[in-house]
Structure 1
Amino acid sequence: MDEAVEISKVIANEHRMNILKILSTGPHNVNELSEKLGLPFSTTAVNVKKLEDVNLIVTELVPGRGTQKVNSKNYDRIIIDLFSSDTAQDKNVITIDMPIGEYVDCQAEPSCGLVSETDYIGIQDDPRSFYEPRRREAQLLYFRVGYVEYRYPNRIPYGNTATEIQFSAELCSEAPYHKLDWPSDITVYVNDKEIGTWTSPGDFGGERGFNTPEWWQIYFTQYGLLKHWKINAEGCFIDGVKFSDVTIGDLNLNERPFISLRFEVKKDAVNAGGLNLFGTNFGNYRQGIIMNVYY
């Protein structure tokens, strides 16, 4: 957090943000930056030094007309975790990141398909492709109506009781190509218990996802929303807002060797707008479907 504070102070400045924007196109020296920004050399040099101090840019000596200092951007992305892992509760937590292709059961109706990091898996709009051995390589899966179900190993130590279970996944609706206004009712089940339905507002495209491979056409689905489900003794919450009275006691976590999670778009849903589910190397978030169990 201390590092985050220092970096935030530095980038809370229009000139420095513009320097980073220019450097994203390629290396520049201070004279070039000064000219493009329309600022005095001395002002530009001060701002470059502040960016150097927090390691957001790097300066190298390169041969040219004599030796000159050239600045380059060090990072494409900044992530700040707004939590501390040094808590007593975190010592009693089980975390599993499930790849999206590791489902144990499924049903899919067109439009539907599986996509790896490099190509399509099977035949698009053919539900049989969901049973291909290569499905484990999937980084994006989608369907208009249907479900996928996952089973996590139940690692709750014998003699202990789960107090909270959390899931997070990146997902959105499924429209032809993409469509921002395309609602879809996505229902979630844990251990066969329906915990609630979330309505995705649309299918997001037109702007490449951070992790979406370059070969995937920009007018196709690019990224989703990262949603968080939490179930404890008080009920079920999505992104911190209670939306179901299902409690962790209703899930009977100690009765099975696994914990099941299912995403479904029902045929009779008010908004049967499909589902896109994103893996580690697709969309905006480098994760599969993460489960945290606190005990």
Structure 2
Amino acid sequence: MQIEVSTKNMAFLECFSSETRVKMIELLGQEPLNIKQLSQKLDISSAIVTKHIQKLEQAGIVTSENTTGIRGTQKICHLKIDQAVLQFKPKKQVDLPTNTVAIPIGQYTSFEVKPTCGLASPTQLIGVLDDPRYFADPGHVHAGILWFASGFVEYRIPNFLHSNQKLRTLEISFEICSEAPGFNENWPSDISFYINDIPLGNWTSPGDFGSQRGVLSPDWWSSSNTQHGLLKVITVSPTGSYLDGTKISDTTIQDLSVAFGKDIQFRIASLESSPNCGGITLFGKSFGNYAQDIIVSMHEDK
């Protein structure tokens, strides 16, 4: 996520003015902890821990859930975000019309995958594990998580531009990580992105995350499975293609040849020819740490 350094984000920025809160973030980055455990590790009272946790929750850095323990209810704290980028120079505010659409991860229009692979809805597995044929099962539209060791999935982005409008910026966000058997935090995967078969660039996922349970993981989803990914944002603009604000290629919005009346094809791939072919796991709004599907925003010139 990107945070603009300004007074409107003081609730977030103030979290780092306290050494105690920074230590809490360090501890929760290793594993979820309850209030008592944090109190013991930091050698401070539970009341003080609770106040700090409330501030971290308000800033969106930490999330908590109440669970039933041996001695009653306990509050389990999880780190909600994996990274944040501070933006010191504010973006120019341009008043452009925007079309935004959410595409469920199961509504891909084309695929080619190899095991390990599979799909699951919020309530159950879809088909049989490690059998690519089930990616064609009509039930794939209900998938809340999908994974494959190599190959691709492709989505059709509806193009609502009018004939007199011109696309200036395309932004796509999604939760993603590598795909290892079970999970493996150190499992790099080179993941490639395409629009209308034109390469946007690559990103190397550091691992397949499972040591901390996903905030949105359904109760039936085993703790031995992949739990969450990283939220990534691709932006294609007149100056190039960017991932989380870092340029990944010189492919511009003009290169995509987005035309009136034609949908946009978005492909996510793990190529066997890449140095780190570590697969892909995609998360929808009912799995992982972020309650969203693939979110596409189209900003137009006036």
TM range (shorter): 0.7 to 0.9
The answer to whether residue 275 in structure 2 is matched with residue 291 in structure 1 is no
1:231 deviation in Å?
A: 0.9
Q: Counterparts of 2:256 and 2:275 in 1: how far apart (Å)?
A: 26
1:10 deviation in Å?
A: 8.6
Q: Counterparts of 1:119 and 1:50 in 2: how far apart (Å)?
A: 38
Identical amino acids, percent of aligned pairs: 37
Query: Secondary structure of 1:269's partner?
Result: coil
Deviation per residue, 1:4-30 (Å, 9 max, x gap)? 646876997689999xxxxx979xxxx
How do residues 1-295 of structure 1 correspond to structure 2 at under 5 angstroms? 5=10, 88-89=94-95, 91-254=96-259, 256-295=261-300
Q: Which residue does the alignment assign to 2:62? A: none
**Cα RMSD after superposing both structures:** 3.7
Deviation per residue, 1:184-237 (Å, 9 max, x gap)? 111111011111111111111121011111221112110011111111111111
Q: Counterparts of 2:178 and 2:15 in 1: how far apart (Å)?
A: 38
Contact 1:142–1:277, Cα closer than 8 Å, also in 2: yes
Q: Counterparts of 2:211 and 2:52 in 1: how far apart (Å)?
A: 35
1:125 deviation in Å?
A: 0.5
The answer for unaligned runs of 5 or more in structure 2 is: 1-5, 24-32, 59-73
Structure showing greater radius of gyration is 1
TM-score, normalised by the number of residues in structure 1: 0.75
**Distance 1:52-1:240 versus aligned 2 partners, 3 A rule:** closer
Query: Which aligned segments of 4 or more residues in structure 1 are displaced greater than 6 angstroms?
Result: 10-18, 47-53, 75-80
Contact 2:163–2:260, Cα closer than 8 Å, also in 1: no
Q: Counterparts of 1:10 and 1:125 in 2: how far apart (Å)?
A: 44
Q: Which residue does the alignment assign to 2:65? A: none
Contact 1:16–1:48, Cα closer than 8 Å, also in 2: no
Contact 2:15–2:22, Cα closer than 8 Å, also in 1: no
Aligned residues: 263
Query: Secondary structure of 2:227's partner?
Result: strand
Q: Counterparts of 1:3 and 1:117 in 2: how far apart (Å)?
A: 36
Contact 2:122–2:287, Cα closer than 8 Å, also in 1: yes
Query: Secondary structure of 2:157's partner?
Result: strand
Query: Secondary structure of 2:269's partner?
Result: strand
Query: Secondary structure of 1:95's partner?
Result: strand
Query: Secondary structure of 2:254's partner?
Result: helix
Contact 1:123–1:129, Cα closer than 8 Å, also in 2: yes
